[in-house]
Structure 1
Amino acid sequence: MRHLTRSFAEGTLRRGREVEQLLEAFEEDGRRGLRWASISPATRFHGFIVRLHVVEDLDDTYRLTVDEYLSFHETDEEDFGQTIGETESAQAAIDLANRELGADPTRWVNQGVLQDEYNDYLKQGRPLGRWQPS
């Protein structure tokens, strides 16, 4: 099973690992994009950072990993995602991502597994809207 239960996601975060979640696909000005969330342990304090990443859906044959896709919005800086908030606990971070981004508390995956979610999205024909894995 790819998705982490809420308690496993919290444990992953407390062990210093990141979790990620594909949120949705959208189209704007004739371009396709993806929104995905990440929660990572903070390096400057003992807490967690919730981020939203908005990237261009390249659908290229080389299939870079989603976290290597170009930012949807033009920027000269490397895009590490928009910080949604910082929390003291893993539980609060998951709650924040749910409240602010609509992230499902039961659909987090370990860092690096987001690409498997993206591959499923491709197999389903790149549907627009909230991502609902089958």
Structure 2
Amino acid sequence: MRHLTRPFTEGTLRRGREVEQLLEAFEQDGRRGLRWASISPPTRSHGFIVGLHTVEDLDDTYRLTVDEYPSFHETDEEDFGQTIGETKSANEAIDLAARELGADPARWVNQGVLQDEYNDYVKQGRPMGRWQPT
């Protein structure tokens, strides 16, 4: 099972590992895009960071890692996305992502596993809207 339960997500973050979640596919101005969320563990200078990443979906079946796609909006930071907020606890970060981004607390994956979610999305024909894994 690739999705982490909430206690496992919290534990992963407390151990210093990032988690990610594919959120949705959309179309704007004739271009297809993808949104995914991330929660980064705390550092010495920051708490848990909830981020939103918005990239172009280039429909390139030979490049199935979503983090290689270019930013959809020129104003987004290419490597870090948009910071949604910072929290003091993993639990608060999960709640913030759910509230602000519609992230499902039961669908987080370890960093690097998002490409498997994206691969499933491609196999399902790149459906538009909220991502619903099978």
Shorter-chain TM band:
over 0.9
- Structure 1 gaps of 5+ residues are none
Cα distance change on mapping 1:72 and 1:4 into 2, 3 Å: same
Tell me which amino acid in the other structure corresponds to 2:31. R
> Is the deviation greater in 62-71 or in 119-128?
62-71
Q: Which amino acid aligns with 1:26?
A: F
Other structure's SS at 1:99 match: helix
Deviation at 1:41? 1.2
RMSD: 1.5
1:51 is aligned to 2:51: yes
- Name the SS of the counterpart of 1:33 in structure 2: strand
Tell me the TM-score normalized by structure 2: 0.94
Name 1:18's counterpart in structure 2: 18
Distance 1:29 1:55 in 2: 14
Give the 3-state SS of the residue equivalent to 1:2 in structure 2. Answer: coil
Conserved? CA contact 1:33–1:55, under 8 Å: yes
Identity rate, percent: 88
CA contact (8 A) 2:76 2:82 kept: no
1:50-129 equivalent positions in 2, closer than 5 A: 50-75=50-75, 78-129=78-129
Q: Structure 1 segments of 4 or more deviating over 3 A? A: 75-79
Q: Give the drift of 1:59.
A: 1.7
Between 31-40 and 62-71, the greater mean CA deviation after superposition: 62-71
Residues 70 and 78 in structure 2, CA contact (< 8 A), matched pair in contact too: no
**2: CA distance, partners of 1:115 / 1:59:** 14
Whether the 8 Å CA contact 1:47–1:90 is kept in 2: the answer is no
Check 1:59–1:123 CA distance in 2 against 1; reply closer, same or farther (3 A cut).
same
Residue equivalent to 2:38? 38
Q: TM-score, normalised by structure 1?
A: 0.94
Between the aligned partners of 2:90 and 2:124, the Cα distance in structure 1 is 32
Distance (whole Å) between structure 1 residues aligned to residue 20 and residue 77 of structure 2: 22
In structure 2, the CA distance between the partners of 1:76 and 1:101, relative to structure 1 (3 Å rule), is closer
Partners of 1:5 and 1:77 lie apart in 2 by: 29
SS in structure 2 of the partner of residue 50 of structure 1: strand
